[in-house]
Amino acid sequence: MANLVRSISENGGAIVCAIDSTEIVREMERIHKTSAVMSAALGRLITGASLMGVMLKSADDSVTLRVQGDGGAGTLLAVADGVGNVRGYADNARAEAATQRPDGKLNVGGVVGQGMLYVIKDLGLKEPYVGQVPLISGEIAEDITNYYATSEQIPTVCALGVLVDKDLSIKRAGGYLLQLLPGATEEEITMLEQNISKIPSVTKMLEEGKTIYDI
């Protein structure tokens, strides 16, 4: 249902996983009948969970993301296994943000609100690993990036996007997760920083016909 690619840089300094999750998010919207902003919120979360699942070491491992904010969305939940299969749930699938963003984009941070991101990893051990960080924006991608930096001390860039059409259907959805490994050189880090500062949004690239390999 989704196209996903995982890659490592030539010298082993960075790993990246990218996904076109359009069909997954379309199925989510069909099942949950989400409002436009909730399609973006829950769609980003299940896309991020799928990426984090693929980053696990075993196909039998799983990761659960729980976003608990004080906005209209209530609790958002996404669970993914080690090959990226994912499912999601929202307390209030039809919630709307109380305010609109000045730039006209869907106010995901507004409908999520302030609160916590909980990450539970079942790695086949006696007890699951549980990490938690405060939400820094409620926009999901920034919160996942902050989780890795704070809880796992892994330099990470996460980008997630859901493009919702006027009739509430899902036009495009996708994302990528990039992490630096211990072998990263200063030259590679600089190049990545420059590229990331110039790269368009994931949904814009998908709308332009780019594939996840292009991304």
pLDDT tens digits, one per residue of 104-142: 899 999 999 999 999 999 988 888 999 999 999 999 999
Beta bridge partners of 118: 66, 132
pLDDT at 1: 61
Residue 100's pLDDT band, with cuts at 50, 70 and 90, is: confident
Burial label, 210 (beta-carbon count in 10 A; 0-12, 13-18, 19+): middle
Query: What structural domains and CATH numbers belong to the chain?
Result: 3-207 (3.55.30.10)
- pTM (two decimals): 0.95
CB count in 10 Å sphere of residue 16: 17
Residue 172's pLDDT band, with cuts at 50, 70 and 90, is: very high
Beta bridge partners of 130: 120
Q: What is the pLDDT of residues 8-49, one digit of tens each?
A: 988 889 999 999 999 999 999 999 999 999 999 999 999 999
